[in-house]
Amino acid sequence: MNVISRRHFLKLAGASTALVAAVPTMLRAQSATPKGRVVVVGGGFGGATVAKYLRLWGGNSAAVTLVDANPNHVSCILSNMVLDGSLNLSQITFNYAKLQQKYGITFVQGKATGIDSANRVLKLSSGKTLPYEHLVLAPGIDFKPIDGLDFSKIPHAWQAGPQTTLLKQQLQQLVAGTVTGDFVITVPPSPFRCPIGPYERACLVADYLKRNGKSGSKVVVLDANASIVAEVVTFTKAFNQTFAGIIDYRPSEQVLSVDSNRRIITTNKGEFPAGVLNVIPAHQAGAIVRNAGLVDLTAANWGAPVNPLNYESTLLPNSGIHIIGDSQGTAMSKGGHVANGEAKVCADAILRALDGGAPDPVPTVGAACFNPVTANTGSWLSTLFVYDPATKTMVKAVPPGTVEAPVANKDNFEKIFEWSANLFADTFA
Ligand SMILES: Cc1cc2nc3c(=O)[nH]c(=O)nc-3n(C[C@H](O)[C@H](O)[C@H](O)COP(=O)(O)OP(=O)(O)OC[C@H]3O[C@@H](n4cnc5c(N)ncnc54)[C@H](O)[C@@H]3O)c2cc1C
């Protein structure tokens, strides 16, 4: 990222905070004492937003406790730009101080390990227990195991933080032009977190190789899916034209095993030696969701089935347990912007329930993002999901359904920082 853009980003982050503070805070009749306790597990894009909006919209109606295993949340959004040195991790790391100070949310750093759903109590690894009337689970994703895969040697960098740093170091150390000079990345089977993310990463790495005299190396994309999953126009053009001869895209590659010491991956189609091996395994719902029996392990969709009117589990109805973000199992795409939208629908439904009311019968959730393709050009994608009463599911609005940028350009690149600064502020500030 050039200096002007970075300054622009930081300025926008500040401006967006002011924008959010201007949102009317009291949309409901206020209650002097809480009508219910809401415990939220996971302080990422889903969990931090639902905690904030419960208080922003509900005031004292709900006593809100937010639980996260870590003191800070490192955003996956923009983390691909850390790999090529455009951004630092500190620029996409958020703490929970503002949520505590501005909205009166109680933050507990700890790992949630179990749920006593009969008595409505959340258990933490510390031995502490948190009683609730409503429990919102937003733990993001876990990965399905792959034979031989050791993340301390073969980073996924699909949960941002130390894994991002490790992958960046490996990329910097890559020696171009050798037999094992390729960057090999896998794309997991759909559905997966951020459908554009692996393709965006492939492009940014290819661009980095081009700009850093490592043009003897290729980026090999081993896609478990039959074709590019998202922003098909943009990434087809990027792979075939912008990075022709650098990106080698291979569809329908099923990962069988990994030799983590030798950096060799075996798929249904053969063996691929790598200089840097970036395996992003198939996903599953977070452990706290799976272990509570909120997922149908035999279903093709690994997310927890929920009622999209309030995100309550349909496997444990009337339990007060809601699942949002990547771990929920609607057909909506798995993104931070979508998680933020689901969180608002969920917060509104919980506040209505505390007042004895029914949820909004026709919620909508938007999914939009601006993403880099090179170090100075970007693209965008936008989808509107609406509730369909006939099927009781979220479906794409027709029109507009999904729309993507006709062309990657500099203007879209600059908007990445405007869009993300607004989302970051709306979630964490
Ligand atoms: C490289 C990359 C780029 C991306 N780019 C975009 C983009 O441009 N636009 C977009 O919309 N989305 C993007 N995404 C997707 C987005 O990051 C995720 O969809 C989003 O973070 C999901 O939000 P979530 O709340 O479900 O989970 P997360 O944001 O991952 O938050 C989960 C939180 O739960 C905590 N946690 C988990 N289990 C426990 C437990 N048992 N106890 C306590 N805490 C727990 C974790 O510490 C974590 O803080 C990208 C993802 C990647 C990997």
In sign, the C-alpha dihedral spanning 45, 48, 53, 56 is negative
Which residues touch 360 (CB under 8 Å, ≥6 apart)? 309, 345, 348, 349, 352
Q: Residue written as tokens 């969709």?
A: 301
119-128 average pLDDT score: 98
Mutate to test the pocket of ligand 1, among 75, 76, 279 (most ligand atoms within 8 A of CB): 76
Q: CB within 6 Å of ligand 1 — which residues?
A: 41-47, 67-70, 73, 76-77, 79-80, 111-112, 138-140, 158, 193-194, 197, 286, 288, 325-327, 334-337, 339, 369, 371
Question: Ligand 1, atom 8: nearest CA belongs to which residue?
Answer: 77
Residue 7 confidence (pLDDT) above 50? no
Read off the amino acid at residue 318.
Answer: N
Cα(294) to centroid(ligand 1), Å: 19
Q: Enumerate long-range contacts of 151-154, CB under 8 Å, 24 or more apart.
A: 153/260, 153/261, 153/263, 154/258, 154/260, 154/263, 154/277, 154/278, 154/279
Candidate from 52, 77, 346 with most ligand 1 atoms within 8 A of CB, to mutate: 77
413: exposed, middle or buried (Cβ count in 10 Å: 0-12, 13-18, 19+): buried
Strand, coil or helix: 292: coil
Least confident span in 8-17, 178-187, 378-387: 8-17
Q: How far is the CA of 412 from the centre of ligand 1 (A)?
A: 23
Q: Which long-range contacts (CB under 8 A, 24 or more apart) does 379-388 make?
A: 379/231, 379/234, 379/404, 379/405, 379/407, 379/408, 379/412, 380/404, 380/405, 380/412, 380/415, 381/196, 381/230, 381/231, 381/405, 383/333, 385/332, 385/338, 386/362, 387/308, 387/309, 387/361, 387/362, 387/363
First-last CA distance in the chain: 24
**Residues 286, 304: Cα–Cα separation, whole Å:** 10
Helix (H) or strand (E) holding 112: strand 112-116
Given the CA of residue 288, which atom of ligand 1 is nearest to it?
Answer: 41
pLDDT above 90 covers a percentage of the chain that reads 87
| Residues 34 and 63 sit within 8 Å (Cβ to Cβ) | yes
Least confident piece of the model among 207-216, 289-298, 333-342 = 207-216
Domains and CATH numbers, the chain: 3-142+283-359 (3.50.50.60), 152-278 (3.50.50.60)
Q: For 96-125, what is the mean pLDDT?
A: 98
Question: What separation in Å is there between the alpha carbon of 256 and the centre of ligand 1?
Answer: 26
| Amino acid making up residue 413 | F
What tokens appear for 397 in the block? 């609005």
Dihedral angle sign, alpha carbons of residues 251, 255, 261, 264: negative
Between CA 228 and CA 209 the distance in angstroms is 22
The torsion angles phi and psi of 219, rounded to 5 degrees, stand at -110, 115
**pLDDT for residue 13:** 40
What is the distance in A from the centroid of ligand 1 to the CA of 18?
A: 24
Q: Could you tell me which of 322, 340, 331, 424 has the C-alpha nearest to residue 385?
A: 331
Q: Which atom of ligand 1 is nearest to the CA of 324?
A: 26
Q: Which of 326, 328, 330 maximizes ligand 1 atoms within 8 Å of its Cβ, making it the mutation to test the pocket? A: 326
Query: 160: which residues sit within 8 A by CB, 6+ positions away?
Result: 74, 75, 76, 79, 82, 89, 92
Distances (CA, A) of 403 to 11, 232, 380, 382, 398: 29, 11, 8, 5, 11
**What pLDDT score was predicted for residue 21?**
32
Residue by residue, DSSP assigns 30-99 as --SS-SEEEEEE--SHHHHHHHHHHHHHHGGGEEEEEEESSSEEE-STTTHHHHTTSS-GGGGEEESHHH
d(C-alpha 73, C-alpha 417), whole Å: 18
Residue 179's pLDDT is what? 64
Structure tokens at 192: 């997966």
Residues with Cβ within 8 Å of 153's Cβ and at least 6 positions away in sequence, in order, are 260, 261, 263
The residue whose CB lies within 8 Å of the most ligand 1 atoms, and thus the one to mutate among 40, 49, 50, 68, is 68
What is the mean predicted confidence (pLDDT) over 305-327? 98
**How far away, in angstroms, is 200 Cα from ligand 1 center?**
17
Q: Where does the pLDDT of residue 80 fall: very low under 50, low under 70, confident under 90, or very high at 90 and above? A: very high
Q: What is the largest CA-CA distance in the chain?
A: 69
Provide the pLDDT confidence category of residue 354 given band limits of 50, 70 and 90: very high
pLDDT digits (tens, 9 = 90+) for 260-312: 999 999 999 999 999 999 999 999 999 999 999 999 988 889 999 999 999 99
> Where is average pLDDT lowest: 4-13, 165-174, 252-261?
4-13
Dist. CA 145–CA 34, nearest whole Å = 43
How is residue 182 written in tokens? 């390729």
Which of ligand 1's atoms lies nearest the C-alpha of 159?
53
pLDDT at 20 over 70: no
Instruction: Give residue 178's pLDDT.
Output: 73
User: pLDDT at residue 3 above 90?
Assistant: no
Per residue in 388-427, pLDDT (tens digit) is 999 999 999 987 788 999 999 999 999 999 999 999 999 9
Q: What is the pLDDT of residue 29?
A: 61
Three-state secondary structure of 178-221: CCCCCEEEEECCCCCECCCHHHHHHHHHHHHHHHCCCCCCCEEE
Place 30 in a pLDDT band, splitting at 50, 70 and 90: low
CA gap 309, 114 in Å, rounded: 25
Mean pLDDT score, 40-50: 98
- Rounded distance from Cα 47 to ligand 1 centre (Å): 9
- Say whether pLDDT at 154 is over 90: yes
pLDDT digits (tens, 9 = 90+) for 159-205: 999 999 999 999 999 987 776 789 999 999 999 999 999 999 999 99
Instruction: Give every CB contact of residue 180 below 8 A, 6+ residues apart in sequence.
Output: 263, 273, 274, 275
Q: Which atom of ligand 1 is nearest to the CA of 337?
A: 11
* CA 422 to centroid of ligand 1, rounded, Å: 17
Question: 369 pairs with which residues across the strands?
Answer: 381
What is the average pLDDT across 148-161? 98
State the closest ligand 1 atom to the C-alpha of 338, by its place in the atom list counted from 1.
Answer: 11
